Structure 1
Amino acid sequence: MFKRSLQRQFTRFNSHGHGHGHVSKFINEPAFKLDAKKGAEFIKKYEEKVHHSEGVTNLWKKITYFVAIPAILLAAVPIINIELHHAKHREHQKHLSDEEWPTQYDYQNIRNKKFFWGDGDKTLFWNNDCNRHIEH
């Protein structure tokens, strides 16, 4: 009875579709044969990869900590100063009247048809602090 149930189970995995004579092959034979030489070779190659990967990992950590992070900080300092200057300028422009606002040229704020969102005049990336549509 046990043998028949195994025959039914292993029939699914048999490429021929006839699993009756092959059940003992799956039960009695190991899936692989141990080879000490190949095992030792595999372990040696694995340890070499681990040793190599530890060295590469340490190299990239050093590059990150001693090159990338200082470079980002050095680049951030002047950018922060520029952005603070821009913020002051935008704060000043908020309070300007339409007459004092910089000249609107013919090619700016062209509206052939209204946008389908909001009031139809503002673009998707409209910023009220630095954009203004002055109609003459």
Structure 2
Amino acid sequence: MYRAAQRTIRRNAHHYAPSKYLNESAFPAAKVNKAAGEAFVKEHEAKVAHSKGISDLWKKLTFFVAIPAILLTAIPVTKVELEHAEHRKHQRHMSDEEWPVQYAYQNLRTKPYFWGDGDKTMFWNSDVNRHVQE
């Protein structure tokens, strides 16, 4: 298998490395431009320093602004969600007569769904949703 691979490489070598590029005379000797090289290195170092400064800024913004803002927002939201959970727990034990009035535009069914009992939507939550049929 090794020899077959070598034969394939030799046979197709002209596709990958044409002989005109293998000739050293095709590439004239490059002249070193020391000023351009120093300018490139200086510009690269400036970019590295800038990116380090920017990444430090975003770390500080994350730790000192974003995380405290999220925590300060989470406190009242948690309180409201706990109240909702208590309300849902109470609604779970209510009878159909005590359930809030359903208006004509709620729970419209033109035809039954083809899953389950045909009355519940795909994302039905028995704690929150109830279809009181008269």
| Aligned equivalents of 2:94, 2:69: Cα separation in 1 | 39
Superposed CA deviations along residues 17-69 of structure 1, whole A, max 9, x for unmatched, are: xx56x2542x5666983443322222111110000001100111111111111
In 2, the alpha carbon distance for the partners of 1:41 and 1:91 equals 70
Counterparts in 2 of 1:8 and 1:123: CA distance versus 1, 3 Å: closer
Q: Does the C-alpha gap of structure 1 residues 89 and 24 become closer, same or farther in structure 2, counting only changes over 3 Å?
A: closer
- The aligned counterpart of 2:72 is 74
Q: Secondary structure at the match of 1:12?
A: helix
Identity %: 50
**How large is the RMSD of aligned CA atoms in angstroms?**
2.6
Separation in 2, partners of 1:130, 1:7: 73
Higher relative contact order, structure no. (Cα contacts within 8 Å, ≥ 6 residues apart): 2
Separation in 2, partners of 1:86, 1:43: 61
CA distance in 2, matches of 1:129, 1:30: 78
TM-score after normalising by structure 2: 0.80
Equivalent residue runs for 1:1-136 within 5 Å:
9=13, 11-13=14-16, 19=18, 22=20, 24-25=22-23, 27=24, 33=30, 34-136=32-134
Query: Which amino acid in 2 is paired with 1:74?
Result: L
* Distance in 1 between residues matched to 2:82 and 2:90, nearest whole Å: 13
Q: Which runs of 5+ in 1 are unaligned?
A: none
Higher relative helix content: 2
With normalisation by structure 1, the TM-score equals 0.79
Number of equivalenced pairs: 125
Contact 1:6 1:23 (C-alpha < 8 Å) held by counterparts: no
| Matched residue type, 1:12 | H
